[in-house]
Amino acid sequence: GVMERLGLGPEVLLQENPRLIYARLTGFGQTGKYAKSAGHDINYLALSGVLSKLGRKNENPYAPVNLLADFAGGGVMCALGIVIALFERARSGRGQVIDASMVEGVAYLSSFLWKSQSLGLWSQPRGENLLDGGAPFYEIYRTSDGKFMAVGAIEPKFYNQLIKGLGLNLDELPAQMSFSDWPEMKKKFASIFAQKTQAEWCSIFDSTDACVTPVLSFEDAASHPHNKERSSFIKNDQGEMSPRPAPVLSRTPGVPSCKRDPFIGEHTEEILLEYGFTKQEIDKLHSDKAIELKDIKANL
Is-catalytic flag, 70? Answer: yes
The residue annotated as part of the active site, out of 41, 70, 206, 224, is 70
The torsion region of residue 175 among left (phi > 0), alpha (psi -120 to 50) and beta comes to beta
Partners of 241 in beta bridges: 235
Do residues 187 and 123 make contact, with C-beta atoms less than 8 angstroms apart? no
Query: Three-class SS of residue 225?
Result: helix
Question: Inter-axis angle of helices 77-92 and 102-109, to 10 degrees?
Answer: 90
The residue annotated as part of the active site, out of 40, 209, 226, 267, is 40
Is-catalytic flag, 224? Answer: no
DSSP 164-181: HHTT--GGGS--TT-GGG
Extract the runs of DSSP E, i.e. beta strands, from the chain: 21-26, 96-101, 138-142, 148-152, 212-214, 233-235, 241-243
User: Distance from CA of residue 103 to its chain's centroid?
Assistant: 15
The alpha carbon dihedral of 18, 22, 28, 30 has a sign of negative
Do residues 162 and 213 make contact, with C-beta atoms less than 8 angstroms apart? no
CA 292 – CA 75 distance, rounded (Å):
24
**DSSP 8-state code for residue 100:** E
| Catalytic residue annotation | 40, 70
